[in-house]
Amino acid sequence: MENNYRHEWKHEINYADMLVLRARLGAVAKPDPFAANGKYLVRSLYFDTADDKALREKIDGVNMREKFRIRYYNDDIAFIRLEKKSKRNGLGTKYSARLTAPQVQKILDGDIDFLMDSDNSLLQEFYAKIRYQGLRPRTIVDYTREPFVYDAGNVRVTMDYDIRTSLNCAAFLDPDCVTIPAGDAPSILEVKWDAYLPSIIRDAVQLPGRRVSAFSKYAQCRIYG
């Protein structure tokens, strides 16, 4: 289970920035083919230990860290993934495995033995860390994403906004789960690429007064508990 580590920039942006970026990126990059009308809704359930290991490591800027989440899009629980995000020396990678809605419900109910019996190494690792590190659901994170792709450099640029949260983790699969704004959360520009970032994209995402940020949607959504 070996993935390439990718470069990543994050910038906190405002609505005016989004209008500029939307126009620039629309001229040089392609909309993500999976986005309907240029956007989609993201819902994630983040896991952490009782002493908030993932949250503390993010806040402290630990060089090597990881976090687990379960995610689906556009209220469609027919396609759900477990994802493990890892950071090393400022670079990031992601591993994923499919889960069914009934399997996710089992996890929410604490019935996790099926993970141990899986032939998927990520599901087995998730089982071990629930069992021995005490990983548990901590918060739901919802937001709207506008994604763009650029083939050279395998670049993906996203604008995420309307970040919302709920502590009612048991309602993760319910599209009518009530969420609330995650404090005064900004909109976030993310740029990810492999070996190099083409200058046409580098120029398109430059905004005066905007610098690379360590913003975390998970950390922002933990402000309520």
pLDDT digits (tens, 9 = 90+) for 114-157: 999 999 999 999 999 999 999 999 999 999 999 999 999 999 99
- Tell me what the pLDDT averaged over the chain comes to: 94
* CA–CA dist 185, 162 (Å, integer): 8
Residue 204 pLDDT level (bands cut at 50, 70, 90): very high
In SS3 terms, 13-63 reads as ECHHHHHHHHHHHHHHCEECCCCECCEEEEEEEEEECCCCHHHHHHHHCCC
CA 139 to CA 17: how far, in whole Å?
29
Q: What percent of the chain has pLDDT over 90?
A: 88
Q: What pLDDT digit, counting tens, does each position of 23-77 carry? A: 999 999 998 887 888 999 999 999 999 999 999 999 998 989 999 999 999 999 9
| pLDDT of res. 148 | 97
Instruction: Give mean pLDDT, residues 164-174.
Output: 97
Report how far residue 9's alpha carbon sits from residue 91's, in angstroms, rounded to the nearest whole number. 10
| Per-residue confidence (pLDDT) for residue 2, from 0 to 100 | 53
Write down the pTM of the prediction.
Answer: 0.94
> Quick check: 165 and 139 in contact, CB under 8 A?
yes
* pLDDT score of 202 more than 80: yes
The CA R_g of the chain, rounded to the nearest whole Å, is 18
Instruction: Report d(CA 17, CA 39) in Å as an integer.
Output: 17
Residue type, 49: T
Q: What pLDDT sits at residue 1?
A: 47
* Cβ-contact 46, 218 below 8 angstroms: yes
Mean pLDDT for 194-201 is 95
1 vs 70, more confident: 70
Q: What is the pLDDT of residue 137?
A: 98
